[in-house]
Amino acid sequence: DTAVSQTPKYLVTQMGNDKSIKCEQNLGHDTMYWYKQDSKKFLKIMFSYNNELIINETVPNRFSPKSPDKAHLNLHINSLELGDSAVYFCASSQPPILAANTGELFFGEGSRLTVL
């Protein structure tokens, strides 16, 4: 009963393909995120989603989050490029004002995407 789960864990694909990474959380959190960890090891936020897109950092529009319901936030990537190779982390949180916490993120295990 993993709190935040991502599939697939590993994905190897060719340039130009379209792929998706799925994310599900069973914590009842309102907000979900996608982070990217590239070869330089920075964890950079890509998207934050709570019923609507809240944060959309400067990622190419080839990347799009899709949320079928509150427990899921999937990441779709079109026309994959070599530079998209990275580890993608899904996360969820409760707003700090509701949970009386710092709004810390709960991360999934990550999905390693390799584009050949």
Partner 1 sequence: DQQVKQNSPSLSVQEGRISILNCDYTNSMFDYFLWYKKYPAEGPTFLISISSIKDKNEDGRFTVFLNKSAKHLSLHIVPSQPGDSAVYFCAARAPWGGSNYKLTFGKGTLLTVNP
**Positions in the binding site for partner 1 (CB under 8 A):** 4, 31, 35, 40-45, 48, 50, 54-55, 89, 91, 95-98, 102-110
Task: Report whether 68 contacts 22 (CB < 8 A).
Answer: no
Nearest distance in Å: CB 67, partner 1: 15
Nearest distance in Å: CB 75, partner 1: 15
Q: Which is nearer to partner 1, 33 or 63 (CB)?
A: 33
Nearest distance in Å: CB 98, partner 1: 8
**Burial (CB count <10 Å: 0-12, 13-18, 19+), residue 108:** buried
How many angstroms separate the CA atoms of 39 and 68, rounded? 31
Q: What SS3 class is residue 82? A: helix
